[in-house]
Structure 1
Amino acid sequence: MSERVMPGRTDGLITLGAADALWADLTADSAVPTGAGAFTCPPASTRAGYVLLGGYVVATVRASSGQWSVREVEVRQAAAELNAVGMDRQDLVRVGPSRRAPRQECHENTPLRWRQRIIGELQELGGPERAARREAGQPYHLAGIDWRQILVEQTRDGTQRTWWLPRAVVRLLDAAEHTETQWVHAARTLQASAAVTKPPTHPREARDADGRQTTSPQGPTASLRPYNRELEGQLYSVLSKKPGTSRRVAGWACAVCRTAPATVLDHCHEHGYVRAPVCQSCNTQERPDHLYSNDIRVAGRYTRLFHTAAEDWLHHWHRCPGCRARTTLPLPHLAAWTAHVACHSLRPAHRAAGGRKPCGMLRVSWTGSHHAPRSCLLTVSVDFCPLGEHRVLAQVPYRDAAEQFRTWLAETAPAVAAEAGPDRLDGLPDQPRPVIADTNGEGLALF
């Protein structure tokens, strides 16, 4: 790699071509695939003064000859951070399509907005611009990540196509988007004040009044404030209409994973209360897998929600005063819990290589409403049995399911159970509120 260090320079600057080669070499064994041309092909913002690599910003420097360069140590640090990221290709998050996603041209100076970029390109199947890009061999990278290698397309009923990416990559790209916003804001502030000649080269770097550099070890959320129940007890329908709420939400770290910037307000669709600001990844993980309005499939991710990270998620769901007062969960979550936990022993298994394998996929539907618990009935069944043997496993009345959940909650998360029920109704709406339509999936907008 003879071009890597520029001759005659002592500050470790390398050309963009050398940086491309170095980035590809350092991340060759990364779990997250990286793209060629990370520094030289759009959406690399070279002329804007920076290049995004995962959740890291590498500043660009323009030499007296007009040639753009970057510092080799920063490329190596960005590669080390990306190499430390693990990725489960089976843990997917839906990223499109969205009817309300705005069209956006991908200029070099355009902010990342990675969801719009992906959706915009995939919706132009067969378009002349896309064909020209393919013939030219232009790599499909976002923040140095080759998203095309890991994009999953799913088709339902032979017509509706959806696109999915691994959760680890979604979190990386969300962090990159937040980092870019913070970097650009810092650069503009410094230019306006003329106090410092250049902006920080990494979101974790800042300079104090004396010009000395200070570093925070907390990563991309270092500039974010933790959520401390500031929105507790507020109705989503009211809060979402207040001006400036979206900007306020973006200043919090995700209340669930605490490692990514918040992008949406998660709320209880049955009682209407705000739970907390969360990142898009956690919001997707929390959402039930609806087939219809009263029918869900219980996918493998519920193992995390109800077992490995149960206490964190139960605490999050009980941020809703309505669910906490009644010591229960919203009906879709209670249905998923009933199928996955309470009816686990009823799920049949078939012989498979290495032992027996649980049959098919659990599915739960319900009739009636939580507002009329006497008439509400949960039906647990098995879909996709290879032998076509199994249908209905159990029918559980709502009140029985809620009582079983209370017992399990006290054993699994005593601290959460101690803050709940029994039916403390002070301050709750006098009349049951209708389920609030979920707007998070349309354009992935805040509200």
Structure 2
Amino acid sequence: MPERVVPGRPDGLITLGAADALWVDLTAGSAVPTAFGAFTRSPARARAGYVLLGGRAVTTVRASGGRWSVSVGEVRRAAAELNAVGTDPQDLVRIGPFHGAPWQEADEETVLCWRRRIAGGLWEPGRPQRAARRDLDRPYHLAGIDWRQMLVERTRDGTQRTWWLPRAVVRLLDAAEHAEAQWLQASQTHQAGAAVTGPPSHPRRAARDAGGRQATDPEGPAASLRPYNGELKGQLYSVLSRKPGTSRGVAGWACAVCRTAPAAVLDHCHEHGYVRAPVCQSCNTLERPDHLYSNDIRVANRYTRLFHTDTDDWLRHWHRCPGCRARTTLPLPHLAAWTAHTACRSLRPTHRAPRGRTPCGVLRVSWTGSQNTPRSCLLTVTVDCCPSGEHRLLAQVPYREAVERFRVWLAETAPAVAAAAGPDRLDGLPTEPRPVVADTSGEGLALF
């Protein structure tokens, strides 16, 4: 029988084993599956003074008798936060494998490094593109989350296997990494101060009095991040990315799009080479299509959010590039997606469904030429997977016409963004935009 809270126990503390059972019980109905062992199995660090639960760090204390314990209230609060998270099984973020090692994007000072851990758990040395199946029955967690239940594997061309997680889970794990980094930083500061003022207490725990009463958790990730206010405006990514300390500096900002998660990468325009802003991994992936070939993209349902629900935020973000802003347009792949999803919306057929009618198939847009040769650049919007097999070609839109349509739509939809754009702001721009270089492997999605 699992150990429960003992009435009258000071501070409402329970042992780590009891906390394991309590965490599973409290999150039994969560959309994000959790695993037993959040406090006692790797990569839990309860004996270091904290445990990651969902997107937060929970303090552990050493009670009488030398046993490690945790506050019931803190476990309940972490469980309530996790239970409030919803997931969309269709809204997935690719987490690997990529060329090189994608998990190296995590802050090297953190211990969780969840991308590296997942890659290590799935990759079999000497057997590329094969997912390891050993230990799948063993409960395994990251920040108390059983990621194996959420992992989706996809195979492309019958050979290349890729790994995906729901966007909500990626956000939680990114928040957990940031919370851990903040905890470790606070610990180092505490240790430095203790070396001057007296004997050190536990490096990752603060006490309110000599009785060892538990202090509140460190502030959450959002409270410790500074908002992005255009500090990198007009800088070239090729220059900035080579400066020492850039990655460390990026991690101190909140994502410039969602403004809640810690930034992880510098998003930049691949056509003009300018830095847009620091963004989190989730937002950096959100703007990318499901599939990217040499001149062809699939227009996923999430473009409804980019071009409808959160239009102002995304347009403002894309126009942080001086080249796109001055020409009042978007990079070619984004413009192609907008043309298919928005400008050609009325052309998309519908089919009968149990509840009304549903749009036909899946939108795809391809192009010939490039934005550097606008006279010869043509966007072709098609429909894949039509239920009746009768629909295919929807429209062919010349690049210049697509640009003009976008300008009109921008002025009507986001007048503040449109007012900041215009041809009078060409000073300092490259004489000729960079050509779009297609990444046909789909690994780095270089068009974006």
Q: TM-score, normalised by structure 1?
A: 0.88
**Deviation at residue 125 of structure 1 after TM alignment:** 9.2
Tell me, which stretches of 5 or more residues in structure 1 are unaligned? none
**Deviation at residue 361 of structure 1 after TM alignment:** 0.7
Q: Which residue number in structure 1 is paired with residue 59 of structure 2?
A: 59
Conserved in 2, the CA contact under 8 Å of 1:43 and 1:110? Answer: no
Q: What residue identity is the alignment partner of 1:335?
A: A
Q: Give the Cα separation in 1 of the matches to 2:223 and 2:290.
A: 33
Taking the TM superposition and a 5 Å limit, the aligned residue runs for 1:9-158 are 9-101=9-101, 111-124=111-124, 133-134=135-136, 138-158=138-158
Deviation string for 1:94-130 (max 9, x for gaps)?
11113422899xxxx9811111111111113999xx7
Tell me, which stretches of 5 or more residues in structure 2 are unaligned? none
Q: Which residue number in structure 1 is paired with residue 222 of structure 2?
A: 221
Q: Give the Cα separation in 1 of the matches to 2:55 and 2:314.
A: 26
Q: Which residue number in structure 1 is paired with residue 319 of structure 2?
A: 318
Q: Give the Cα separation in 1 of the matches to 2:444 and 2:65.
A: 43
Q: Which residue number in structure 2 is paired with residue 424 of structure 1?
A: 425
**Deviation at residue 234 of structure 1 after TM alignment:** 0.4
Q: Give the Cα separation in 1 of the matches to 2:184 and 2:417.
A: 41
Q: Give the Cα separation in 1 of the matches to 2:304 and 2:125.
A: 37
Sort the Cα spacing of 1:346 and 1:236 in 2 relative to 1 into closer, same or farther, 3 A. Answer: same
Q: Give the Cα separation in 2 of the matches to 1:270 and 1:249.
A: 22
Conserved in 2, the CA contact under 8 Å of 1:288 and 1:332? Answer: no
Conserved in 1, the CA contact under 8 Å of 2:49 and 2:205? Answer: no
Conserved in 2, the CA contact under 8 Å of 1:98 and 1:119? Answer: no
Q: Give the Cα separation in 2 of the matches to 1:181 and 1:17.
A: 25
Q: What residue identity is the alignment partner of 2:35?
A: G
RMSD after superposition: 3.0
Q: Which residue number in structure 2 is paired with residue 260 of structure 1?
A: 261
Q: What residue identity is the alignment partner of 1:396?
A: V
Q: Give the Cα separation in 1 of the matches to 2:102 and 2:419.
A: 46
Q: Which residue number in structure 1 is paired with residue 377 of structure 2?
A: 376
Q: Give the Cα separation in 1 of the matches to 2:294 and 2:302.
A: 20
Q: What residue identity is the alignment partner of 2:61?
A: V
Q: Which residue number in structure 2 is paired with residue 193 of structure 1?
A: 193
Sort the Cα spacing of 1:8 and 1:214 in 2 relative to 1 into closer, same or farther, 3 A. Answer: closer
Taking the TM superposition and a 5 Å limit, the aligned residue runs for 1:161-180 are 161-180=161-180
Taking the TM superposition and a 5 Å limit, the aligned residue runs for 1:287-366 are 287-366=288-367
Deviation string for 1:50-103 (max 9, x for gaps)?
111011112222345332211222111111211222222221111111342289
Q: Give the Cα separation in 2 of the matches to 1:12 and 1:409.
A: 56
Conserved in 1, the CA contact under 8 Å of 2:55 and 2:175? Answer: yes
% same residue: 76
Is 1:280 the counterpart of 2:299? The answer is no
Task: Classify the secondary structure of the residue corresponding to 1:142.
Answer: coil
Sort the Cα spacing of 1:93 and 1:391 in 2 relative to 1 into closer, same or farther, 3 A. Answer: same
Task: Classify the secondary structure of the residue corresponding to 2:82.
Answer: helix
Conserved in 2, the CA contact under 8 Å of 1:190 and 1:199? Answer: yes
Task: Classify the secondary structure of the residue corresponding to 2:66.
Answer: coil
Sort the Cα spacing of 1:85 and 1:221 in 2 relative to 1 into closer, same or farther, 3 A. Answer: same
Sort the Cα spacing of 1:372 and 1:423 in 2 relative to 1 into closer, same or farther, 3 A. Answer: farther
Q: Give the Cα separation in 1 of the matches to 2:111 and 2:77.
A: 22
Q: What residue identity is the alignment partner of 1:370?
A: Q
**Deviation at residue 232 of structure 1 after TM alignment:** 0.5
Conserved in 1, the CA contact under 8 Å of 2:87 and 2:166? Answer: yes
Q: Give the Cα separation in 2 of the matches to 1:343 and 1:61.
A: 60
Task: Classify the secondary structure of the residue corresponding to 1:69.
Answer: strand
Sort the Cα spacing of 1:413 and 1:148 in 2 relative to 1 into closer, same or farther, 3 A. Answer: same
Q: Give the Cα separation in 2 of the matches to 1:199 and 1:222.
A: 22
Sort the Cα spacing of 1:338 and 1:76 in 2 relative to 1 into closer, same or farther, 3 A. Answer: same
Q: What residue identity is the alignment partner of 2:346?
A: S
**Deviation at residue 244 of structure 1 after TM alignment:** 0.7
Sort the Cα spacing of 1:126 and 1:84 in 2 relative to 1 into closer, same or farther, 3 A. Answer: farther
**Deviation at residue 206 of structure 1 after TM alignment:** 12
Q: Which residue number in structure 2 is paired with residue 247 of structure 1?
A: 248
Q: Give the Cα separation in 2 of the matches to 1:101 and 1:292.
A: 22
Q: Give the Cα separation in 1 of the matches to 2:327 and 2:265.
A: 25
Sort the Cα spacing of 1:99 and 1:224 in 2 relative to 1 into closer, same or farther, 3 A. Answer: same
Conserved in 1, the CA contact under 8 Å of 2:370 and 2:435? Answer: no
Q: Give the Cα separation in 2 of the matches to 1:2 and 1:413.
A: 57
Conserved in 2, the CA contact under 8 Å of 1:58 and 1:201? Answer: no
Taking the TM superposition and a 5 Å limit, the aligned residue runs for 1:394-409 are 394-409=395-410
Task: Classify the secondary structure of the residue corresponding to 1:327.
Answer: coil
Q: What residue identity is the alignment partner of 2:331?
A: P
Q: Which residue number in structure 2 is paired with residue 269 of structure 1?
A: 270
**Deviation at residue 443 of structure 1 after TM alignment:** 9.4
Deviation string for 1:112-165 (max 9, x for gaps)?
1111111111113999xx77745xx53121100111111111112222111111
Sort the Cα spacing of 1:378 and 1:201 in 2 relative to 1 into closer, same or farther, 3 A. Answer: farther
Sort the Cα spacing of 1:436 and 1:391 in 2 relative to 1 into closer, same or farther, 3 A. Answer: closer
